[in-house]
Amino acid sequence: MAALAPNSALVFSGRGATGARSLSSRSIAKPVAVNDQSRARKVNVGVRASSAGSIREQASRRAPLEKSTLFNCKYVPFSGDKNETYSIDDVIYRSKNGGLLDVQHDMEALAIYPPEYWKALFDEDIVSMFEGNSNLFWADRYGREVLGMNDLWVKQCGNSHTGSFKDLGMTALVSQVNRMRKQGKPLAAVGCASTGDTSAALSAYAAAAGIPSIVFLPADKISLAQLVQPIANGSLVMSIDTDFDGCMRLIREVTAELPIYLANSLNSLRLEGQKTAAIEILQQFDWHVPDYVIIPGGNLGNVYAFYKGFKMCKELGLVDKLPRMVVAQAHNANPLYRAYTTGFEKFEAIKAEPTFASAIQIGDPVSIDRAIYALKETNGIVEEATEEELMDAAAEADLTGMFNCPHTGVALAALKKLREAQTIGPSDKVVVISTAHGLKFAQSKVAYHAGEIEGIVGKFANPPVEVKEDFGLVMDVLKERLESS
Q: Interface with ligand PLP by CB under 6 A: which range of 63-71, 298-306, 315-323, 451-459?
A: 298-306
CB nearer to ligand PLP: pick between 32 and 251: 251
Pick the stretch among 74-82, 170-178, 233-241, 294-302 that binds ligand PLP (CB under 6 A): 294-302
Minimal distance, residue 359 CB to ligand PLP, in Å: 3
User: Residue 110 or 191: which CB sits closer to ligand PLP?
Assistant: 191
Least distance from ligand PLP to the Cβ atom of residue 444, Å: 13
Give the Å distances, CA to CA, from 97 to 94, 101, 178, 229, 365: 8, 11, 29, 37, 19
Residue 359 as a binder of ligand PLP (CB under 6 A): the answer is: yes
Residue 159 CB, nearest approach to ligand PLP (Å): 13
* CA separation for the pair 159, 217 (Å, rounded): 23
Instruction: Return the range that interacts with ligand PLP (CB under 6 A); candidates 72-80, 136-144, 194-202, 458-466.
Output: 194-202
360 binds ligand PLP, rule: CB under 6 A: yes
Alpha carbon 150 to its chain centroid, in Å, reads 24
- Least CB distance to ligand PLP at residue 235 (A): 16
As measured in angstroms, the least distance from the Cβ of 298 to ligand PLP is 4
User: Which bin fits 130, alpha (ψ -120 to 50), beta or left (φ > 0)?
Assistant: left
Backbone angles phi, psi at 197, to 5 degrees: -85, -35
Instruction: Tell me the window of 138-146, 147-155, 297-305, 376-384 that interacts with ligand PLP (CB under 6 A).
Output: 297-305
Question: Does residue 267 interact with ligand PLP by CB under 6 A?
Answer: no
| Residue 300 C-beta: closest distance to ligand PLP, Å | 4
| C-alpha distance from residue 157 to each of 137, 320, 393, 395 (Å) | 10, 25, 18, 18
Interaction between residue 297 and ligand PLP (CB under 6 A): yes
Residues near 258 by beta carbon (within 8 Å), at least 6 away in sequence: 188
| Residue 331 C-beta: closest distance to ligand PLP, Å | 15
Residue 444 binds to ligand PLP (criterion: CB under 6 A): no
Q: What span, in angstroms and rounded, lies between the C-alpha atoms of 273 and 14? A: 10
Residues 36-65 that bind ligand PLP (CB under 6 A): none
Nearer to ligand PLP, 119 or 275 (CB): 275
Show contacts with ligand PLP in window 419-438 (CB under 6 A).
Answer: 435-436
Provide, rounded to whole angstroms, the least separation between the CB of residue 262 and ligand PLP. 15
Listed in sequence order, the residues at least 6 apart from 465 whose beta carbon sits closer than 8 Å to its beta carbon are 477
The verdict on 230 binding ligand PLP (CB under 6 A) reads no
Site track for ligand PLP across 247-266, x = CB under 6 A: ------------------x-
Side-chain half-sphere CA neighbours of 332 within 13 A: 16
Question: Other CB atoms closer than 10 Å to residue 450's CB: what's the count?
Answer: 12
Give residue 198's Cα distance to chain centre.
Answer: 11
* Residue 135 in contact with ligand PLP, rule: CB under 6 A: no
- Segment lying near ligand PLP (by CB under 6 A), choices 32-40, 101-109, 193-201, 341-349: 193-201
Position among 301, 309, 380, 438 found at the interface with ligand PLP (CB under 6 A): 301
Torsion sign over Cα 212, 217, 222, 223: positive
DSSP-assigned states of every residue in 172-201 = HHHHHHHHHHHTT----EEEEE-SSHHHHH
Q: Rounded to 5 degrees, what are φ and ψ at 437?
A: -80, 135
Angle, CA 279 vertex, CA 94 and CA 297 arms, to 5°: 55
Strand order in the sheet with 324-330: 136-138, 152-156, 430-434, 292-296, 324-330, 381-385
Nearer to ligand PLP, 118 or 244 (CB): 244
DSSP code at position 145: I
Residue of 214, 300, 390, 395 interacting with ligand PLP (CB under 6 A): 300
Q: Shortest Cβ distance from residue 296 to ligand PLP (Å)?
A: 4
- Tell whether residue 197 is a contact of ligand PLP (CB under 6 A): yes
Burial of 307 from C-beta contacts in 10 A (0-12 / 13-18 / 19+): buried
Stretch that binds ligand PLP, among 64-72, 195-203, 450-458, 477-485 (CB under 6 A): 195-203
Q: DSSP label at 359?
A: G
Site for ligand PLP, residues 156 to 175, rule: CB under 6 A: 164
Q: Which of 230, 273, 296, 409 binds ligand PLP (CB under 6 A)?
A: 296
Give every CB contact of residue 66 below 8 A, 6+ residues apart in sequence.
none
Q: Is 237 helix (H, G, I), strand (E, B) or coil?
A: strand
- Chain positions 398 to 417 lying near ligand PLP, rule: CB under 6 A, are 405, 407
How many residues touch ligand PLP under the rule CB under 6 A: the total is: 18
Query: Residue 460 to residues 141, 396, 399, 406, 471: CA-CA distances in angstroms?
Result: 16, 6, 8, 14, 28
Kindly list the residues in this chain that would bind ligand PLP in the complex (CB under 6 A).
164, 195, 197-198, 265, 296-302, 359-360, 405, 407, 435-436
